[in-house]
Amino acid sequence: MKEEKYIVFDQYLQGELSDEARLDFEKQLSENEELASEFETFKEVQIQLETKFDFAADREAFTANLKVISKEHFKADKSKVISIKPWAYLVAASVAILFGLFLFNPSDPNFEDYNQYENAYLTERSEGVDNLKKAEEAFNAKNYKAAIPFFEAILRENKTVEVQYFYGISLLENNQIKQAEAEFNSIKSGNSIYKNKAIYALALVKLKQKNYKACKEILLTIPPDYENYDKVQELLDKLD
C-alpha cells in the first residue's frame, strides 16, 4: 500500500531504519525507477510541507485534521499494529490533498489498471523443451523475475518474436525499462502478428514512467484493427 511506502520513506529520511533495512531500501531505489521517482516526489513534498507548517502549533492542528482525513482515504488493517508518527500522517495524506498533480491526480491513468496480459502458451508447439515450459509457468503465474532467465536461455538458442514479446513483458514488470523497450522496438520494426502488441507495450512503458504525453503519442500510432483496440481507446480517453 502506498501509505506504507510513505512511512518507509519518512523513516529513511529521518535515519530511523536499521542498517540492513536502509541498504535494502537503497538497493530497491537503484533497481526500481518507479519507486525512485515516488521517493523524489515525496522528498519534494516534505520540504514544502516543512516550510508551510513551520510553527509547532500549526503543525499539530494540521496533523489532527489529517488523522481524520486518513481514516477516510487510507483504510488500515486493524489486525496489524503499525506505529505511525503524526508526521507520516501529514505527509501521506497531504500528498493527495495538496499535491494531487504529482502522484494521486485521479484523472491520470495508472499502469496497474492496464498491465493485464494474455497467457503464454509456448509449450503447445514445443513439446519436451524444459526452458519453454518453465518460462511459460513462471510468466502465467506472474512471477516475471523468475521467468526472465528462462526466456533468455530460450532466445540464445532460438530467437522467436513470440518469446521475445513475453520476455519484454517480463522485463517491464521487473522494472528493467530500457531492456524492455529494446525488445519491443525490435518487434515493432518487423511485420509479425506481435507488432501492434509491441507498440501497445511501448505505450505501457511510458505509462509506467508517468510520461503521459509520450504514452498518448504511441497509442495514436496503433491502427483500429488491433485486436485489443478497445483498451487503446479506453487509455486514450483517460489521457485526454
Q: Where are the domains of the chain?
A: 2-98, 111-239
Q: Is 191 helix (H, G, I), strand (E, B) or coil?
A: coil
* Structure letter (DSSP) for residue 110: -
Give the predicted TM-score (pTM) of the model: 0.58
Task: Tell which residue, 128, 121, 204, has the closest CA to residue 166.
Answer: 121
- Cα(89)–Cα(148) distance, integer angstroms: 38
Confidence label for 153 from pLDDT (cuts 50, 70 and 90): very high
* Predicted local distance difference test score (pLDDT) of residue 25: 87
Classify 111-239 by CATH class.
mainly alpha
pLDDT in tens, 173-200: 999 999 999 999 999 999 999 999 999 9
pLDDT tens-digit series, residues 94-118: 555 544 444 445 567 999 999 999 9
Give me the count of residues in the chain: 240
